[in-house]
Amino acid sequence: MDKMTTASLAKMKREGKKFASLTAYDTSFAAAFAAQGVPVLLIGDSLGMVLQGADDTLKVTVEEIAYHTRCVSKGAPNALVIADMPFMSYATPEQTYQNAAELIRAGAQMVKLEGGDWLLETVRGLTQRSVPVCAHLGLTPQSVHVFGGFKVQGRSEEAAQAILDQALRLQDAGAAMLVLECVPTELARRVTEALTIPVIGIGAGPHTDGQILVMHDLLGISSGYIPKFSKNYLALTGNIHAAVAAYVEEVEHGRFPSPEHSFS
């Protein structure tokens, strides 16, 4: 796989080429995913749930994300590696710059932040300081207590318009990518068509430029339950490498997610 960059993904969007991405937390899985053509790997604060056994992502620290970022970047040197900024690690712009620098030094090429308008100054400042930003709208897990649980966002026209407007403002502030989580398919289509930057969906239907899943969900080994928007590819193939390859192939050809993995 050639070296993947933000420019590479922007070109894929312009050409209408869909791409698959996954969370990763260690060298071995990162290498296996890259070998199957996964161009984007996210060190997600989901590690708090799938690795540490917590009920949410809120206890994850910058140091833990940095550790796993070092591991992943070693295993997949040609992938675009994105590191999550964990809960309360970007409460102020100055704090954000320091923590983002630690993640970039650990091997990330981009950092991901959850939130809308309140982050515009921060996104602008990071971009001016040569730190690419992936924004995250819709269901933002770090706001789970505000939402009252893990719930689909943007179902009313007013809420949908607010997400679209915030996405446009984040793009204008310099965000180079957007993750949309757990929003109706039609809203995700509207946002993807309105933005010039790549949009990655998780529980957002088939019309986004890319898709992302938590690796444990893809392999059917998450504790608790498998989300509606995921698919157990290991059960279908019986082999981890084949499971990842099947996921990549279905995303690239628009067969995943199907309506049963999406929200209306």
Catalytic residues: 181
Binding residue per annotation — 46?
A: yes
59 labeled part of a ligand binding site = no
The interaxial angle of helices 62-75 and 93-106, nearest 10 deg, is 30
- Where is 251: in which H helix or E strand? helix 240-252
Separation CA 202–CA 160 (nearest Å)? 16
* 112 in a labelled binding site: yes
Instruction: Say how many C-beta atoms besides its own lie within 10 A of residue 206's C-beta.
Output: 20
Determine the angle formed by the axes of helices 93-106 and 120-128, rounding to 10 degrees.
50
Q: Is 18 annotated as a binding residue?
A: no
Please report which helix (H) or strand (E) contains residue 20, including its range: strand 19-23
Residue 230 marked ligand-binding: no
**Sign of the Cα pseudo-torsion (230, 232, 237, 242, in order):** positive
Instruction: Round to whole Å and give the CA distance between 137 and 122.
Output: 15
Question: Residue 146 burial (CB < 10 Å; 0-12/13-18/19+)?
Answer: exposed
Binding residues: 45-46, 84, 112, 114
Binding residues for Mg(2+): 45, 84, 114
Binding residues for 3-methyl-2-oxobutanoate: 45-46, 84, 112
